[in-house]
């Protein structure tokens, strides 16, 4: 398989659920519930990826803090592992495996473009090998 067939940009991205750093805990919880997602990506005004909040983070922080006063910046994990659109799929797979997750955020020059899923990655590899 050609190396350029194994680049992230060869896979269709899914829209990422996002919030701003100033969104409140209740608003974030509603977005997660409404979209039936387990994570939301925090972006700045320029759509740059600055953090991620999981449902576990949200529950833990709200239980330990004052829920009405917490914003995304108070809850988020700031070190978000992600791939650039030009990276190889190997990097996305390594991130998913190391974090034991089925999605990986994709950026271009720090701007969040979307997410790729483990299923999409496997399907792409199987299609490329088979066809």
For the entire predicted model, the pTM comes to 0.87
| CATH code of the region 3-130 | 3.10.580.10
Q: Indicate whether 21 pLDDT > 80.
A: yes
Q: pLDDT value at position 130? A: 64
pLDDT tens per residue across span 66-94: 656 889 999 999 999 999 999 999 999 99
- Our measurement of the distance from residue 125's CA atom to the centroid of its chain's CA atoms, rounded to an integer in Å, reads 21
Q: Give which of 60, 72, 64, 57 is closest to 26, Cα–Cα.
A: 72
């Amino acid at each position: 398989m050609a190396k350029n067939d194994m680049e992230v940009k060869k896979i269709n991205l899914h829209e990422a659920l996002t919030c701003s750093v100033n969104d409140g805990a209740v608003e974030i919880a509603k977005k997660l519930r409404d979209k039936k997602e387990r994570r939301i990506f925090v972006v700045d005004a320029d759509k740059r990826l600055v953090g991620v909040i999981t449902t576990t983070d949200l529950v833990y922080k709200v239980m330990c803090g004052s829920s009405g006063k917490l914003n995304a910046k108070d809850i988020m994990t700031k070190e978000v592992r992600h791939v650039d659109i030009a990276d190889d799929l190997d990097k996305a797979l390594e991130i998913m495996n190391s974090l034991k997750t089925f999605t990986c955020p994709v950026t271009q020059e720090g701007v969040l473009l979307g997410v790729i899923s483990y299923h999409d990655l496997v399907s792409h590899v199987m299609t490329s090998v088979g066809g």
